[in-house]
Amino acid sequence: MAEQSEFQKEAFGKEQAQLLDELKKDSTERKESLDHEISFANEEREKKHAEEEAAREAAEAAQREAEEAARRAEQEAAEAARRAEQEAQQAAPAYQVPAAPAPGNPVDNYTGCRAYGGNYAMTSVDKKGRPYAKIDCTTRVQIG
């Protein structure tokens, strides 16, 4: 503190020193209060930043998990399709040549026409080993 003159000492006595001490005390308290508010604001900002970071990481993890689940589902679907195709190939019997009809069939009204394709059950085999169905030449109805 600056030196007081004799007049100041007589006029004010110790009031000026007390006032100065009070001002110093008030400024110290205000500084501490401001420091506390600043540190609290910094902590809140850091806390908010940490929450945002955690939310962003959770969103990224959820996105990765969703992509992984989609990839697994796609692989499972492809595997199921492959298995279904294999089962269909195994379930579909290879063409077997039907047994030749018994010779001397008395009910056979065969007219001599043959169907090598179409919606007929192939019941006979020609000399070249091709399957055919015996049909009526006029009505195109299968015989036997």
What strand order describes the sheet that includes 131-135? 113-115, 131-135, 124-125
CA distance 142 to 133: 7
According to DSSP, the β-strands at 131-135 and 124-125 are: antiparallel
Q: What is the pLDDT of residue 17?
A: 76
Q: How far is residue 1 from each of residues 9, 12, 15, 31, 129, measured CA to CA in Å?
A: 13, 15, 13, 20, 127
Q: What is the pLDDT of residue 116?
A: 92
Q: What is the pLDDT of residue 41?
A: 96
Cα torsion 69, 73, 79, 83: sign: positive
Q: What is the pLDDT of residue 48?
A: 96
Per-residue pLDDT of the chain (144 residues; tens, 9 = 90+): 567 678 777 777 777 778 888 999 999 999 999 999 999 999 999 999 999 999 999 999 999 999 999 999 999 999 999 999 888 877 766 666 666 665 555 556 777 899 998 888 898 999 999 999 999 888 888 887
